[in-house]
Amino acid sequence: MIGQVVAAFGRHYTVETSTGETISCVMRGKKSGVACGDWVEYQPTANEQGVIEAIEPRTSKLYRSDAFKEKIIAANVTQVIVVVAAIPSFSEELINRCLVAAESENIAVLIVLNKADLIEPTRIAMDMLSCYQDLGCRVLVLSALHDVSLLQPYLKKHLSVFAGQSGMGKSTLLNALIPQAKRATAEISLALDSGCHTTTHSRLYRFDAESAIIDSPGFQEFGLNHIAQENLAWGFVEFQPYFGCCKFSNCRHINEPGCAVIEAARQGKIQPKRLAFYHKLFSSHQCK
């Protein structure tokens, strides 16, 4: 029987059946790696229980990794919604890492700047995000506490995943879009400039018959160890027009003479801070 994983709790999973019912499942043997959004073959074993026998082929996989382990965030998603806010402050490095991960899987990205009711902090945050608009990335400004109607059209016919740091308002945003979700929320710490982890597991919620949202736990780091070092540059869309134009065919775009990417940055065609982030990412011990 075929069903979709709508929640993941360690090695236990909730699978939605073809009739819309849910059953609690475990993976056959000691296998793992099942993610929210996966389509799986399962075998019922008792009332509302079953065993996952196999994972169906995925169309995409969003995951983060460091030198020791990988963490699958969601499977078969077509859109990553990176939720940020002016308070607490967000990490541009994390945004860039999300962009690289999404580009490597051909997943669309939407950046949502939440808490727009904080007018002056939002203006400052929008100045920081303008560079991603220049790259062609969609940026939406809203307040989850007041009006989320601007986001609703972007969800249509997508399996979206909310991603971002704790405290950005992902759960509040989800509750506004899908009231029956009833995700827990928490106050942020102004002293620590950080949020609290209230979402402890990934969960899929139906927005309509053709659309769904996966809410994932907040994270402060987004390792990209699964992307080979020589492939990192492909995660920067503005670099791609210059590939093949460098003096050396194996150019790494670091400090090589005749590098078309570096020259484009010198001419203002590529933002220097994006090139600097690429250099930092390339040399990071978190990447192969």
How buried is 164 (Cβ within 10 angstroms: 0-12 exposed, 13-18 middle, 19+ buried)? buried
Alpha-carbon gap, residue 102 to 111, rounded angstroms: 12
| Rounded-to-10 torsion of CA 62, 98, 278, 88 | -150
Q: What is the DSSP string of 57-115?
A: PPS-EEEEE-SS-EEEEEES-SEEEEEEESSSPPPHHHHHHHHHHHHHTT-EEEEEEE-
CATH 3.40.50.300 region(s) of the chain? 61-215
How long is the chain?
288
Q: What is the DSSP string of 224-267?
A: BTTS-GGGGGGG-TTTGGGTT-SSSTT--SSS-TT-HHHHHHHT
CATH 2.40.50.140 region(s) of the chain? 2-55
Q: What are the 10-residue block averages of pLDDT along the chain, 288 residues in total? A: 92 92 88 89 90 95 76 92 91 91 94 95 94 94 95 97 89 90 52 44 91 84 84 95 96 96 96 95 67
Residues 6+ apart with CB under 8 A from 90: 84, 125, 164, 165, 168
**Is residue 96 within 8 Å of residue 68, measured between CB atoms?**
no
Residues 6+ apart with CB under 8 A from 146: 116, 117
pLDDT score, position 200: 55
pLDDT score, position 70: 75
Residues 6+ apart with CB under 8 A from 56: 2, 38, 39, 40, 41
Architecture of the domain delimited by 229-283: Orthogonal Bundle (1.10)
Query: Which pair of structure tokens corresponds to residue 101?
Result: 């991960």
Identity of residue 52: I
Query: Which pair of structure tokens corresponds to residue 131?
Result: 């560079």
φ, ψ of residue 47 in degrees (nearest 5) = -60, 120
| Rounded-to-10 torsion of CA 197, 202, 207, 210 | 150
pLDDT score, position 184: 52
Q: What angle do CA 12, 14, 18 make, to 5 degrees?
A: 145
Sign of CA pseudo-dihedral 6, 9, 10, 15? negative
pLDDT score, position 33: 84
pLDDT score, position 285: 53
How buried is 61 (Cβ within 10 angstroms: 0-12 exposed, 13-18 middle, 19+ buried)? buried
CATH 1.10.40.50 region(s) of the chain? 229-283
Query: Which pair of structure tokens corresponds to residue 212?
Result: 């769904």
pLDDT score, position 67: 59
Identify the CATH number of the domain defined by range 2-55.
Answer: 2.40.50.140
If you classify domain 61-215 with CATH, what class do you get? Answer: alpha beta
